[in-house]
């Protein structure tokens, strides 16, 4: 598998660390941010190397939708999907999908793999 870089944005530290570990074990490089503002700054600095963004929807400060909107301004081709426990109209936000919490890590990995291997 080619090495891809994923930005994971999640305010719950345990969930963030778990996702990071699962994705790294799968061979992905993982950047992390614990809120929308931190994610946007990381994206500004490193968007050219980020292949996919996983965003929690509910976070302090900017939520996942607001963060994605700013990322889309920087890179209109950004690939992202939401990991959240709330209902989200992800299509209208320009995301590629959603995984509802709680989820199996295998479902997350399958979703990531399918997005990153699609042409």
Per residue in 56-82, pLDDT (tens digit) is 999 988 999 999 999 999 999 999 999
Q: Which domain holds residue 102?
A: 5-117
Number of domains within the chain: 1
Arithmetic mean of pLDDT over the chain? 93
For the chain, percent of residues with pLDDT exceeding 70: 97
Q: Are 57 and 64 in contact (CB under 8 A)?
A: yes
Peptide bond into 43 cis (omega under 30): no
pLDDT band at 1 (very low <50, low <70, confident <90, very high): very low
Number of Cβ within 10 Å of residue 107's Cβ equals 11
End-to-end CA distance of the chain: 14
Instruction: Quote the pLDDT of residue 26.
Output: 94
Instruction: Quote the pLDDT of residue 20.
Output: 97
Hunting for tokens 């995301």 — which residue is that? 95
Instruction: Quote the pLDDT of residue 60.
Output: 86
CATH number at residue 102: 3.40.50.2300
């Amino acid at each position: 598998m080619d090495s891809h870089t994923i930005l994971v944005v999640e305010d719950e530290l345990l969930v963030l660390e778990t996702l990071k570990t699962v994705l790294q074990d799968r061979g992905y490089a993982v950047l992390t941010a614990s809120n929308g503002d931190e994610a946007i700054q990381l994206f500004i600095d490193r968007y050219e190397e980020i292949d996919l963004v996983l965003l929690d929807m509910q976070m302090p400060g900017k939520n996942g939708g607001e963060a994605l909107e700013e990322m889309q301004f920087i890179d209109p081709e950004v690939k992202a999907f939401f990991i959240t426990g709330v209902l989200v109209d992800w299509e209208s936000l320009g995301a590629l999908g959603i995984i509802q919490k709680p989820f199996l890590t295998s479902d997350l990995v399958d979703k990531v793999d399918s997005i990153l291997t699609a042409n």
